[in-house]
Chains A and B, each alone.
Chain A
Amino acid sequence: MPTGNTRSRRSSNNAREIDLISRTRRQYVLLDFPRSYPNCPVADSTIPSPVSLHDLRLGDALALLKHGGTVDSLVPPQESSIEYLQGVIDGLCELSLKDPLTGLANRRQFHTVLERGIEVVARSGESALLLMLDIDHFKKVNDTHGHQAGDQVLQAIAKCLEGCVRPMDTVARYGGEEFAVVLPNCQVSFGAAVAERIRRAVEALSISISPLVTLHVTVSMGGAYAPEWVRSTTTLWTERADLQLYRAKSEGRNRVCLDHQQVISVSAEEKNMLFGHLALGDPAWIEAVNGDSTHSAAQKVNP
């Protein structure tokens, strides 16, 4: 994935390459962590590329782009063949990261974002929240109103979710009627409020699937914070959020359950109780708490 970045390191003296990279999508350039690109093979950019556009079979790629609606924004090949080709590649990358039905990030993109989130949390210690959502009784929608209505519901919810979060957050379609939201830099005290806002927004949504039929759906939501200052894994993170989603479902749906277990924090109140005596400078605190007369080994041997 992060070839753009690797190229920028290898060929920093090559202005044309840099120019190209600056135009590639931002997520490639942002992956600024050595762990993210373990020795990907990269073509030596000092050798001029002799590839001509006529030698490439771009038919399938262009058909895909046309279907995705991005073919018109390409730079004409006669103007700059390299920019044209770059546009084709960028367009394909974008397609490969999107869910075709809802336009949200797909699972592939979701995992990249999660991995990046974990790196950021491990390095900066800021908390990141992962929410997993599942539409309640979605099968009923499909069974009663048909799959097309089901698709409309999915699209409406996708739009609603995107409207509920900040531009820096990622909304992804995780599976059938399951969505995921990754919220980097989301303070622990705000998590519940954000999740609740999303739940309410979906609940308030009127989805008209035909001129006469309007549907209302609800979602169940589970959330977990990435453990702070710990380099965790995406699997463990999603597992924990999933567990909470399961809880939300089994507790009656249309609700939010957040996992707080991994939030390792010791409150001021706890600290106060731990060392309250120390802070007061009371030298008698040890004797006061130590009621019995058990001696440590040292005192037994030391005269």
Chain B
Amino acid sequence: MSEIQPSSPENPKPSTLPVAPFGKVLAVTSGKGGVGKTFVSANLAAALAKRGQRVLVLDADLGLANLDVVLNLYPKITLHDVFTGKAKLEQAIIKAPGGFSVLLAGSGMVEYSRLTPEVRDDFLKIVSGLIPHYDVLLLDTGAGISDVVLFAVSLASEVLVVATPEPTSLTDAYATIKVLVGQQARKTVRLIVNQTARLGDGRAITAQLQQVLDRFVTPESGQGVKLLHLGDIPADPMVRQAVMRRQLLMQTMPGCPAGLAISQLATKVMDTVIPR
């Protein structure tokens, strides 16, 4: 045989991109854990809901989900039951305190921390099933740059990367963006800088990252990735308080600096990110 043949029935065609990304699906990712990814997802969802959007946050961190902890919700039926066929999708969707819907991964999802063709299909089915019912779907991905994270991000039309000004977080955010450009040919990535200390930190960090990306991550085609600064969330003791009490900041203290920043973030998301 001179031409390469499909090697086996189970992987008929080599492919890197699983599916075309869906509009209005936003992935929130970070590379590094503990930078406030889930906090941003939940509170941004609440702020968007306040603006009349029908929002659903999907706990896409199948292996080590903690959206339930942030929201203080422990439902009986979770995504795990939908995956295993024990429950229907609509049974697992619950209303979160902030006026948006959530689909929690629940415990027992460890077996899904690995991307198998089955997980890929189940996940895809669930996301496409949800799309018609919401204005915005937020995928709260896990930490790291695993197959599951990359797959979840590949379903989204827009990627929101959350980072803090710390060098470790910036390195991981940079590595994530690098992979997304290489693997998914992303042209734009939006950056949210959490826990900023000073005015303008986020913008400066965005510019800095952009410079490094331009220098090292310009694809062969020539057109590089554009990093857009979506907004900053200032370091604010109220955030810690809300997280410790397991309350949504946007519900209990929407007027604190971080709360106002998230409101502004939501406005910007509606103006520039969500397709009309």
Q: Which residues of A contact B (CB under 8 A)?
A: 132, 134, 136-140, 174-178, 227, 229-233, 235-236, 238-240, 242-243, 245-246, 249, 261-262, 264-267, 269-271, 273-275, 277-278, 285-287, 289-290, 292, 294-302
Kindly provide the distance from the CB of B14 to the nearest chain A CB, expressed in whole angstroms. 4
- Residue of A230, A261, A298 near B182 (CB, 8 A) is A261
- Known contacts A239-B11, A264-B179, A274-B167; A297/B215 CB under 8 A: no
Kindly provide the distance from the CB of A116 to the nearest chain B CB, expressed in whole angstroms. 15
Hey, which chain B residues are within 8 Å of A264, CB to CB? 145, 175, 178-179
Q: Is the CB of B14 within 8 A of A274?
A: no
Q: Is the CB of A273 within 8 A of B215?
A: yes
Q: Is the CB of B200 within 8 A of A290?
A: yes
- Residue of B14, B178, B199, B261 near A243 (CB, 8 A) is B14
Name B194-238 residues within 8 Å CB distance of A: 196, 198-204, 207-209, 211-212, 215-216, 231-234, 236
- Residue of A139, A238, A261, A290 near B204 (CB, 8 A) is A290
Q: Is the CB of A273 within 8 A of B212?
A: yes
Q: Is the CB of B1 within 8 A of A246?
A: no
B244 lies within 8 A of chain A by Cβ: no
- Known contacts A239-B15, A266-B178, A286-B198; A296/B232 CB under 8 A: yes
- Known contacts A264-B178, A296-B202; A231/B146 CB under 8 A: yes
Hey, which chain A residues are within 8 Å of B115, CB to CB? 232-233, 236
Q: Cα distance A167–B261 when bound, in Å?
A: 59
Q: Is the CB of A230 within 8 A of B174?
A: no
Q: Is the CB of B7 within 8 A of A174?
A: yes
Q: Cα distance A49–B208 when bound, in Å?
A: 71
Kindly provide the distance from the CB of B46 to the nearest chain A CB, expressed in whole angstroms. 16
* 30 A–B contacts from the bound complex (CB under 8 Å): A132-B7, A134-B1, A176-B1, A177-B1, A230-B144, A230-B146, A233-B115, A233-B117, A235-B117, A238-B7, A239-B11, A239-B16, A240-B16, A242-B7, A261-B183, A264-B179, A271-B171, A274-B170, A274-B171, A278-B167, A286-B200, A289-B204, A289-B207, A290-B204, A290-B207, A295-B200, A296-B234, A297-B232, A297-B264, A298-B236
Q: Cα distance A240–B255 when bound, in Å?
A: 49
Q: Cα distance A261–B199 when bound, in Å?
A: 36
In the complex, which of the residues A285, A298, A302 has the most CB atoms of chain B within 10 Å of its own CB atom?
A298
B257 lies within 8 A of chain A by Cβ: yes
Hey, which chain B residues are within 8 Å of A289, CB to CB? 203-204, 207-208
Kindly provide the distance from the CB of A242 to the nearest chain B CB, expressed in whole angstroms. 4
- Known contacts A239-B14, A273-B215; A266/B179 CB under 8 A: no
B157 lies within 8 A of chain A by Cβ: no
Q: Cα distance A72–B100 when bound, in Å?
A: 72
Hey, which chain B residues are within 8 Å of A238, CB to CB? 7, 11
B258 lies within 8 A of chain A by Cβ: yes
Q: Cα distance A274–B231 when bound, in Å?
A: 20
Q: Beyond A235-B11, A287-B200, A297-B260: 10 further Cβ-contacts under 8 Å?
A: A134-B1, A138-B2, A178-B7, A227-B145, A227-B146, A240-B16, A242-B14, A261-B16, A271-B171, A298-B199
Q: Is the CB of B147 within 8 A of A243?
A: no
Q: Cα distance A177–B5 when bound, in Å?
A: 11
Hey, which chain B residues are within 8 Å of A261, CB to CB? 16, 179, 182-183
- Known contacts A271-B171, A290-B203, A297-B231; A243/B16 CB under 8 A: yes
Hey, which chain A residues are within 8 Å of B208, CB to CB? 274, 277, 289
Hey, which chain A residues are within 8 Å of B198, CB to CB? 286
Q: Cα distance A240–B5 when bound, in Å?
A: 15
B10 lies within 8 A of chain A by Cβ: yes
Give 5 closest A-B pairs by Cβ, nearest first.
A298-B234, A243-B14, A297-B261, A298-B257, A290-B200
Residue ID in chain A nearest B113 by CB atoms: A231
Hey, which chain B residues are within 8 Å of A294, CB to CB? 200, 203
Name B1-57 residues within 8 Å CB distance of A: 1-5, 7-8, 10-11, 14-16
- Known contacts A289-B204, A289-B207; A270/B174 CB under 8 A: yes
Q: Cα distance A244–B117 when bound, in Å?
A: 21
Kindly provide the distance from the CB of B68 to the nearest chain A CB, expressed in whole angstroms. 22
Q: Cα distance A230–B144 when bound, in Å?
A: 8
Hey, which chain B residues are within 8 Å of A231, CB to CB? 113-114, 146-147
In the complex, which of the residues A242, A245, A292 has the most CB atoms of chain B within 10 Å of its own CB atom?
A242
B116 lies within 8 A of chain A by Cβ: yes
Q: Cα distance A245–B7 when bound, in Å?
A: 11
B247 lies within 8 A of chain A by Cβ: no
B164 lies within 8 A of chain A by Cβ: no
B78 lies within 8 A of chain A by Cβ: no
Q: Is the CB of B3 within 8 A of A249?
A: yes
Q: Cα distance A297–B261 when bound, in Å?
A: 5
- Residue of A230, A274, A299 near B199 (CB, 8 A) is A299
Q: Is the CB of A233 within 8 A of B1?
A: no
- Residue of A132, A227, A278, A298 near B261 (CB, 8 A) is A298
